[in-house]
Structure formats: structure tokens, C-alpha cells
Amino acid sequence: MSMNRSAGVLCHISSLPGKYGIGSLGKEAYEFARLVRKNGFRYWQILPLVQTGFGDSPYQSVSSDSGNPYFIDLEELKKQKLLTKDELKSVRKRESLDYGSLYDERYATLKKAFSRFNFESEDFRAFVKSGKAEEYALFMTAKAVYGGCFSEWDAPLRDHEEDALEALRTEHHEEYLFWQFLQYEFNMQWIALKKECNRIGLRIIGDIPLYVAYDSADVWAHPELFKLDEEKKCIKVAGVPPDYFSEKGQLWGNPIYDWKEHEKTNYAWWKKRFENAFEIYDVVRIDHFRGIDRFYEIDAESEDATKGHWREGPKEKLFEGITGEIVAEDLGVTDDGVLALLNKTGFPGMKVLLFAFDSNPENPYLPHTFNENCVCYTGTHDNDTVAGYCERLNAEELILFRSEIASEMQRLELSVPIGSKPEEIAEALVSLCLASKARLAVIPVQDILGLRNDCRMNSPGKGEGNWKFRLECLPSSKCMRKLRKSIKIYRM
């Protein structure tokens, strides 16, 4: 990892404040970027920018190369005279994130904008011709026209035959252009935001999920790259065995890659995916990195993940010829193979402080045990917030947790006092993260603010209520100034 010793903040676009029901690429995103950079952060980490699918998860998308239309800034569309002032007033104002209402209302608003858009413009025609959104636009057009899962469509369309695609593109041309328009607008707005972030010295860490969703443009357009039957249905699906998060494991349901087919093409699909990622991010985090060494596959008809099998992945061959900065999410079940792959690639892994304090002085998540080539987090989007974790502990457990943090701080010769309230313990763990040996320390915005578990982003294995956290407003100047002082002491 070529970066200097730095600090980053983890906050997804959806979590930004704003009046239109979900965070966007509008003024609040620019204000957030300037706020965190002004106070010493050099990295902003986000979750996948893709259009969400099943369960509203950014890890279950209709297309791995899409941009989420919900993130399109409506105020910018008004500036382009695609929406009127009255139409914006009629968009329901809400602070909480309600995906069901967004689905019902936002696309109707975006259709109004599209109705006024000049899709004969040179820039838009060039975007369509580039093919960047072609698979997505065709897939979403087919979903709009025929509904259901792609495996239920008539065979020629299900099988992605060229004549069927041309008929879809021609007979439903306006619908097809609408989905192209959404990606065009998202792309323009995201590029502008990232350019401004880079201008002020803030780099973006983006996220590539290892797996794609089954009912997606990816699987529909490239079925040969996945373990499917003749009717394009999954034979095997992804997940993880029983672990810290779930006693029955996690049954994700994503299709399993046919790695032998990928190898025949010299991993061309993956190389294109990395190429696209490095166009929109400065650093790429690979989610579930361990699945590249060995992956866990489960029979598609299984009810849970307890009876899966480990299989060999592509290992370092997947990264041959890939340039760019990569962070490996190496959490969960790790073994010598994962460690060997990390060593061969040189990618920094992740260290999560909420995993560190189990009374084992050699726990690999304790800062005194790891080297500089890693990224340290207080927690991730899949964890409790620190304050929320403290709140779940009984009195005896909380005393022990606090004592172990204090001991680790002594090892690093930190003199930061630790209070007894959950938010005070969160503040101490933030200091420990910043003071750690890791080249990069990333703090979730919830832990910066000492928020509880009602502000948690995701609970793995929980089917509902995830991905809804939003900031009511940007962090206060007082809060950020205090953090800036810590960053200056520990990171500069």
C-alpha cells in the first residue's frame, strides 16, 4: 500500500443527511467531504455505489457496474431544467430511509425528468455508444416489460440471444433510454463529486463485493461464468459456515463462479470489473477476499449454510496484470491459504478493534500484534457500533472490556483517559485506532459520534431493517475539531 500514514471515515452515500429520503450526490455530499478533509481525514470510504436489489443491500445488486439512481441529486436535475420547483416541492420530505416508498415515488420523479431530457445530445449519445450501461439498460428494460426473474423469461430472451436483445431495444426503445439516462446522470454527478474530493486532497475507497446477485444483468449476460443448470438456475450458492455472526452460518444465495471458465478467458470479466472500479474509486476494497483463495459453496436448495463445502478459488492468478491500490477484507474464517495470498499480493488486510478484546494477549486484532501494512477499523458496517456494543454488555463484561482497552493503550503508551459511558469508551477506541500501527485508520461515522445500535448499518443474517442509517445532520464543528487534534497527534 503506497499511502502515507492517514485517517479515513466510513460513511455510505445513503447515510448522508438531506430532505429527499436518502443521501445523494448533492450538496450534503460536498459538504461532508469538505468537513472531513478540513479536519484531517484523507480518505472517505463508502459501500458499493450500485443500484440495490434484494433486501435493499448494496451487496445484492441488479448490476455490479451500475450506479444507484436513488443517489441522483434532484436539485441538480432542477438546475438542468429537468424538474420544476413545484415538482421538487411535491417530493415527499422525510429524514428516515424507507426503501419501499422510495421505489414507489423516486422512479416516477425520475421519469418526469427523463421526459424533458434531450437524449439526442452529443454527450448522451456518446455515453450510450460507449456501452457502459448497455447490459444494465437491457436488463432493466426487460424487468420493466416482463417482470419476474430472468430465468422465467421466454427462452430467447432468457438465454440472452442477440435477436431477442435487438427486439427488446427496438420495441421498447423509450424504456431502454430511460435506464441509460439514469446511469448517465449518476455517472456525471459521481465523477463531479469525486473530482472535487480529489481536488481538496480526499481519496475515495470504494467496495467490490466478491459475489454478484443471481437475478442480475451480470448472470443474465454471462451465464457461462457461473454454476447454473440448463434453465439458468443456480446449482450452488455462496455463503459462509457458522461463525461469529451466525450459528447457522450465512446463506447469501449468490451464484457461485465457475472459475475454470473464467480462467479460459484469462479472467477477462474480472479484469474489466477492476478496470471499471479504478475509474470511479481511488482505492478498491475487495469484500470477502478469502473467497478468492478458497470459497464456501452450498447446494442451492439448502435452508441454511451448515452443510456447505470448501472449494479452491483462483488465488493470485486473478490479480495478474491488475494495477491499483487494493484493500483485502480478510475477516471471518481465515487460514494459512488466505495469509499466503495476502503475502503474495502484498494487499493490506483489515483489523477490527471490536474483535480484539477477548482476554487473549496475542489476539491478532490487538494493535500491538499487527504490522503497518493493514487498515485498522473500530468496526465495520457489519458490526455493532462501539457504543452499541458496550450497551449490550452486562456490568462485569463492560468493566473487563474497558480494562482490556486500557491495557492495550498502555502498551502503545497512550495517556488518553477512558470514561465509563458507552460513548466515552467509543471515543477511547477511536483514539486507539488512530494510534495503531496501521498505515490507514478508518472510523465509521457512527463511532465518531458515539451512536448506539439503532444507528447500526447492517446486522448479518437479519432479513429486514438493514441499510437504513442516516445522519440527521453533518457532525458538529466541535466534534470534528476534537477528532482533528487526535488525527494530528497520532497520524501526522
Q: Which residue numbers are catalytic?
A: 287, 329, 382
For cell 421498447, the residue is 172
DSSP code string of 104-140: HHHHHHHHHHHHT--TTSHHHHHHHHHTTTHHHHHHH
Q: Which residues of 205-224 are buried (b: 16+ CB within 10 A; e: fewer)?
A: bbbbbbbbbbbbbbbbbbbe
List Cβ neighbours of 464 (8 Å cut-off, separation of 6 or more): 55
Residue 206, strand partner residues = 284
Q: Using alpha carbons, select from 489, 406, 480, 370 the residue that is nearest to residue 36.
A: 480
List Cβ neighbours of 192 (8 Å cut-off, separation of 6 or more): 25
Q: How many CA atoms lie within 13 A of 149 on its CB side?
A: 11
Rounded to whole angstroms, how far apart are CA atoms 350 and 357?
16
Q: Kindly tell me the burial class for residue 36, based on how many C-beta atoms sit within 10 Å of its own C-beta (0-12, 13-18, 19 or more).
A: buried
DSSP code string of 301-324: T-SSSTT-EEEE--GGGGGTT--S
Q: Using alpha carbons, select from 42, 2, 105, 60 the residue that is nearest to residue 347.
A: 2
Q: In this structure, are residues 229 and 285 in contact, taking their beta carbons and an 8 Å threshold?
A: no
Using alpha carbons only, give the angle 379, 53, 348 rounded to the nearest 5 degrees: 35
CA distances from 203 to 276, 423, 487 (A): 17, 28, 16
What are the grid coordinates assigned to 23, written together?
443521501
Give φ, ψ of 20 to 5 degrees: -110, 25
List Cβ neighbours of 314 (8 Å cut-off, separation of 6 or more): 259, 262, 263, 267, 292
